[in-house]
Chain A
């Protein structure tokens, strides 16, 4: 059943669940962070409307900086501003930032160790009709490998808002990942949020498998958990919104308790959240695992839902992965 202490939406599993893209959380969060701290600035590379950077621009025109189509400049101007005390949120599509400007982020944000917030929009296959060029699926791996960098993948628009507000205060170079498509908003303003702290969305009475996920795909994970429950398979769904630093304590405890783990992310299975969980468990508590995500291939044009189904990230695929891993459980 749904974890009561997470104070999730009471409209979960109903048709009335509110829908919003996680990028809306970026728009709201930056306005909120901007009100709280005059050093917050937003930089955008010619994608002001679609990244929702224009929400901040309207509120604080003097603290919004248009960079033009120049993602390397986006990262480096941001780093320069951070070096003299600003808290820059730099917004573009994840395919271009950190896709194109990876070295600039590495040298001028991470190695410089200045608090630039790299905000990658339109991540995942749910970017849809734009096709593979714009469906960034390697960003979590890229950013997770970078020393000093915090990596956050919000699960819905509300959590995205909280993540933006929290990251404005963390004083660290941080990557935040957002999606284009409208997704169920399953958390509420009361849902607790802390960077680096995973929390349970669902817990069956007798959990047999841990479902560890991040991002908007978590709603499919919840749907899968409910389906599994009907079949008599108990599970725990862990929202591991911070991929780095991973909440290893929560992950290891859950793996020990359940003895089987499935990771779920709208991202390549190589090196993302699944990789982070596998590295941790291999070290501390070897556990049978299945990985739901993109299996070393690019996406293609299509609608968000059909792509999620085609690439095996729907609720039924997650439930199947859970059944598979249970067969391998000692």
Chain B
């Protein structure tokens, strides 16, 4: 993974726009699911699958692949859409999201979809699983990187901090966590529901290296993962400040969109908004 050229950044931004459109369509078709988180993480997932991760969509079980653990399983639509665009399965399959018999379960399942590293949905368990993978692969002197995508809301779970403490103790330098710091959760804003700040200081106190970035800036995203790779003495947290619903200005920042899908009649408008904001 090298640093981004301006041209590459433009390409990734274009890809993220396509992925956002797929997310809107698949959620409207599913008639349930989460909108804000997937849109907010579209840039980071695009950067991961199209620039950062070592992986092979045609060989999802490739031993040397990096492991991407999605802890907050409810944002699965962004992972499904990005995997489809990356070539893991046909983009049309995204329209089966949450439907009977689909591999694209409402919350992702390891046993259902090749390339899905873990089952998740119940919050707070991804960081520990990623830490377990990092520990085990390091035992075997493997060079795979382990990346855990997690939410800010699940920082309220005790299990998250058990995992953070473990990774800090064992200096798991092959582990990078990226937190979707979008400030919302189902019942409202995180700082009203159960304040999380100062998050960066908390992770530093747990012996992590912390990088804060704008989670919608491709250069910053890719730089942060490159920096994390260079930090040898501890795990790294990328605290990514994101806007929930990013790309659809009429819903950006509104926590009511955490757990609701767009209606079919909103699809056209939302896609128009995505295209309009991509021009800016």
Q: Which B residue's beta carbon lies closest to that of A110?
A: B119
**Does A68 lie within 8 Å of B139, measured CB to CB?**
no
B131: Cβ under 8 A from any A Cβ: yes
- A73-B163, A85-B136 are contacts. A80–B128 as well, Cβ < 8 Å? yes
Report how many residues on chain A are interfacial, defined by Cβ distance under 8 Å.
29
- Residues of the B chain whose Cβ atoms lie less than 8 Å from the Cβ of A85: 136, 140
B202: Cβ under 8 A from any A Cβ: no
**Does A70 lie within 8 Å of B162, measured CB to CB?**
yes
Of B67, B110, B124, B166, which contacts A112 at CB under 8 A? B110
Stretch at the interface among A59-67, A308-316, A317-325: A59-67
A77 to B129, CA, bound (A): 5
Of B67, B117, B136, B159, which contacts A76 at CB under 8 A? B159
Stretch at the interface among A21-29, A100-108, A204-212, A244-252: A100-108
- A70-B166, A77-B163, A113-B111 are contacts. A62–B139 as well, Cβ < 8 Å? yes
- Residues of the B chain whose Cβ atoms lie less than 8 Å from the Cβ of A68: 162, 165-166
- What's the minimum C-beta distance from A92 to chain B, rounded to whole angstroms? 13
- Residues of the B chain whose Cβ atoms lie less than 8 Å from the Cβ of A79: 118, 125, 129, 132
A73 to B135, CA, bound (A): 13
- What's the minimum C-beta distance from A188 to chain B, rounded to whole angstroms? 36
Of A73, A86, A103, which contacts B122 at CB under 8 A? A103
Total cross-chain contacts (CB, 8 A): 97
B interface footprint on A197-208 (CB within 8 Å = 1, 0 otherwise): 000000000000
B120: Cβ under 8 A from any A Cβ: yes
A114 to B133, CA, bound (A): 12
- A76-B129, A77-B166, A81-B136 are contacts. A113–B110 as well, Cβ < 8 Å? yes
- Residues of the B chain whose Cβ atoms lie less than 8 Å from the Cβ of A107: 119-122, 125
A135: Cβ under 8 A from any B Cβ: no
- Residues of the B chain whose Cβ atoms lie less than 8 Å from the Cβ of A73: 128, 159, 162-163, 165-166
**Does A108 lie within 8 Å of B125, measured CB to CB?**
yes
A220: Cβ under 8 A from any B Cβ: no
- Residues of the A chain whose Cβ atoms lie less than 8 Å from the Cβ of B162: 68, 70, 72-73
A111: Cβ under 8 A from any B Cβ: yes
Q: Is the interface of B mostly helix, strand, loop or mixed?
A: helix
A83 to B131, CA, bound (A): 11
B84: Cβ under 8 A from any A Cβ: no
Of A65, A111, A112, A113, which contacts B135 at CB under 8 A? A65
- Residues of the B chain whose Cβ atoms lie less than 8 Å from the Cβ of A112: 110-111, 118-119
A interface footprint on B226-256 (CB within 8 Å = 1, 0 otherwise): 0000000000000000000000000000000
Given A76-B159, A84-B137, A111-B109, 16 additional A-B pairs, CB 8 A: A62-B139, A70-B165, A72-B125, A73-B165, A76-B125, A77-B163, A78-B132, A79-B129, A80-B132, A80-B134, A81-B135, A107-B119, A107-B125, A108-B119, A112-B110, A112-B111
B16: Cβ under 8 A from any A Cβ: no
- What's the minimum C-beta distance from A50 to chain B, rounded to whole angstroms? 21
- Residues of the A chain whose Cβ atoms lie less than 8 Å from the Cβ of B111: 111-113
- Residues of the A chain whose Cβ atoms lie less than 8 Å from the Cβ of B68: none
- Residues of the A chain whose Cβ atoms lie less than 8 Å from the Cβ of B166: 67-68, 70, 73, 77
B130: Cβ under 8 A from any A Cβ: yes
A65 to B130, CA, bound (A): 15
Q: Which A residue's beta carbon lies closest to that of B71?
A: A76
- Residues of the A chain whose Cβ atoms lie less than 8 Å from the Cβ of B122: 103-104, 107
